[in-house]
């Protein structure tokens, strides 16, 4: 009898654990929001790669608290507003503040854009 109870609890635990894992995975996949490109080229002010700039702008909007930072228009234009947002993000993330979006800034953006918190 005890063996049946233990087996039943173990099966129930596996079933619940699987359901929880499935729910969090599905949530992460459907809640991304920034699906312009998977390419992460080095970008700077007036970069002409509009799709990559849209990805950047979207991830910046997801990383910076809209209560204290004006959200960017996701238009693919790396102008002064995007430059200011990049510099703000870099300062908050502890990256070097140079306004250029290279591998280190992309890695930080990838983390903060999909985090439940804002970097600042």
DSSP the chain: -HHHHHHHHHHHHHHHHHHHHHHHHHHHHHT----S-S----B-TT---HHHHHHHHHHHHHHS-TTTSPPPP-SS---HHHHHHHHHHHHHHTS--SS-B-HHHHHHHHHHHTSSS---
For residue 33, what pLDDT is reported? 81
CATH number of 50-113: 1.10.101.10
Mean of pLDDT values over 56-67: 97
For residue 32, what pLDDT is reported? 55
Q: What is the pLDDT of residues 83-93, one digit of tens each?
A: 999 999 999 99
Checking if the pLDDT of 11 tops 70, the result is: no
Q: Where are the domains of the chain?
A: 1-31, 50-113
pLDDT band at 5 (very low <50, low <70, confident <90, very high): very low
Checking if the pLDDT of 115 tops 70, the result is: yes
């Amino acid at each position: 009898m005890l063996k049946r109870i233990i087996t039943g609890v173990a099966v129930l635990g596996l079933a619940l654990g699987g359901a929880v894992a499935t729910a969090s995975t599905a949530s992460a996949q459907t809640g991304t929001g920034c699906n312009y490109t998977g390419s992460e080229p080095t970008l700077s002010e007036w970069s002409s790669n509009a799709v990559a700039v849209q990805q950047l702008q979207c991830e910046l909007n997801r990383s910076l608290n809209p209560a204290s930072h004006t959200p960017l228009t996701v238009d693919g234009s790396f102008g002064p507003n995007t430059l200011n947002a990049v510099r703000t993000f870099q300062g908050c993330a502890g990256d070097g503040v140079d306004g250029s979006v290279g591998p280190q800034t992309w890695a930080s953006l990838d983390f903060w854009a999909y985090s439940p918190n804002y970097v600042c």
